[in-house]
A and B are shown apart, each in its own frame.
Chain A
Amino acid sequence: MSAALALFKRELRIASRAGGGGAMGVVFFLILITIVPFAIGPDLNLLSRIGPAILWIAALLAMLLGLDRLFLGDHEDGSLDLLQMGALPLEVVIVVKCLAHWAVTGLPLVIVAPLFGLMLAVEGDGLAGVAASLLAGTPALTLIGAIGAALTVSLRRGGLLLAILVLPFTVPVLIFGVSAASAASGGTVPFATPFLILCALSLAALALAPFAAAAALRSRD
């Protein structure tokens, strides 16, 4: 337990000292939200209708941005070798690293999403729905992304390949995330149905992704 805690603290400490990946993710999120109205026009009715979807796509891309760094630093400086030889099983190391990565990149998006939702004329229940669905769904994105990050960790052009590998697998999360977010602001489907499936996706990812990522990391050289 103390080893897991030490790992979690170290990840947060590195993130806070080196560059502030979380803040960059939020800025990127804001830029994406700003760009969309330029493309589809400033019609608030339209924006309010597709607002939850825009927020979700922006969050998905912002999460993807930092994923290639998840294991890369530890691979390059040899830490990954030692993490494999430590007291924690590699699967647990991966869960802890994902948790820390999510706390730095995913959680800030959940917090600012309602604020940015106002810019897209999403209101009241809709804002809460977006925040809740992001809270439930972004962990799945981090975990699925961890598989891709582990598969591409030792490759030179890993970043683009990571996106190509991971994005198709995020389709279910996107579908149910946007469904839940839209359902919250009215619609034919009750909010709970897609939301619970979204939670299930995150839990399933938590159960399976660490094993796949660990297998990938073990065979990286």
Chain B
Amino acid sequence: MLKYANPTHFLRLVAAVLPWLWLACVGLLGVGLYMTFFIAPADYQQGDTVRIMYIHVPAAWLSMFAYSIMTLSALGTLVWRHPLADAAQQAAAPLGAVFTFICLITGSLWGKPMWGTWWVWDARLTSVLVLFLIYLGLVALWNTIEEPTKAARTAAIFTLVGVVNIPIIKFSVDWWNTLHQPASVMRMGGPTIHPTMLWPLLIMAVGASLLFLALHLMAVRNVILQRRLRRLSYMAAQAGEQEMAS
């Protein structure tokens, strides 16, 4: 049944959903940012720099979420050979890379005042850096293979290999980190997070997720349209050849 699902239906659905999605996204992010800057308290130790958390944590969450989307789509590609799954995979890779990058940059900006240096080889930062490299590899893979269905299958296999490996990498980096330096002193606002910090964080996380969703849907739409364009140009080329022959 999935095999015959029609990308055209999907495009119609996207057109109907997108305006509402953007509305909700802008609304939530607006409220979230307002709370971040004017309502959430400054940390008694970290001062205003703690506000970076409201960007950093949602970005970190989305860096994983994008990979989950890619994994599900990869299964869709390999098991059901569904073109929508191909497009969803392709669209998620650069978005995942960007959110991971935001996570790294905000982590680095946060690190400067906290640790007095732009970069520390902290276990968590390092794992995210490796995840970022995997995303870049995927984007490179997509850019290198011209044939869309083949690119989708290749990327799907690589994505699934990553799913198996990412926990192993995380575990290794934790081991490596504890071996080379004492546990980091960084703590995020104590063991329990105060509601005045939790609410903006949750709102920002939901808003950022909606932002991801909206961008992802738009990117999937672009991929589908690009493929149609590709097919049309191919058919035009064929028709041209036929005319030349006759």
Contact = CB atoms under 8 A, between A and B. Distances in A.
A168 B134 contact: yes
A157 B153 CA distance: 18
Contact of B161 (A147, A175, A194): A147
A92 interface: no
A212 B157 CA distance: 7
Contacts, number: 71
A171 B157 contact: no
B144 interface: yes
A216 B130 contact: no
A59 to B, nearest CB: 17
B144 A155 contact: yes
Contacts of A175: 172-173, 175-176
A176 B172 contact: yes
Interface in A167-189: 167-169, 171-172, 175-176, 179, 188-189
A164 interface: yes
Contacts of B140: 161, 164-165
A151 B175 contact: no
A172 B168 contact: yes
B144 A171 contact: no
Contact of B172 (A157, A172, A204): A172
A168 B140 CA distance: 14
Contacts of A147: 157-158, 161
Given A164-B137, A168-B137, A151 B157 contact: yes
Interface in B127-165: 130, 133-134, 136-137, 140-141, 144-145, 150, 153-154, 157-158, 160-162, 164-165
Interface size class of A (residues with CB under 8 A): 20 to 34
B169 interface: yes
A208 interface: yes
A219 B154 contact: yes
Given A212-B160, A215-B157, A219-B153, A157 B144 contact: yes
Contacts of B137: 161, 164-165, 168
A219 B154 CA distance: 7
Q: Which of B134, B137, B144 has the most CB of A within 10 A?
A: B137
A169 B130 CA distance: 9
B141 A161 contact: yes
Contacts of A188: 179
Contacts of B169: 168-169, 171-172
A161 B144 contact: yes
8 contacts: A151-B158, A168-B133, A175-B176, A189-B179, A208-B164, A219-B153, A219-B157, A221-B150
Interface of B: 78, 130, 133-134, 136-137, 140-141, 144-145, 150, 153-154, 157-158, 160-162, 164-165, 168-169, 171-173, 175-176, 179
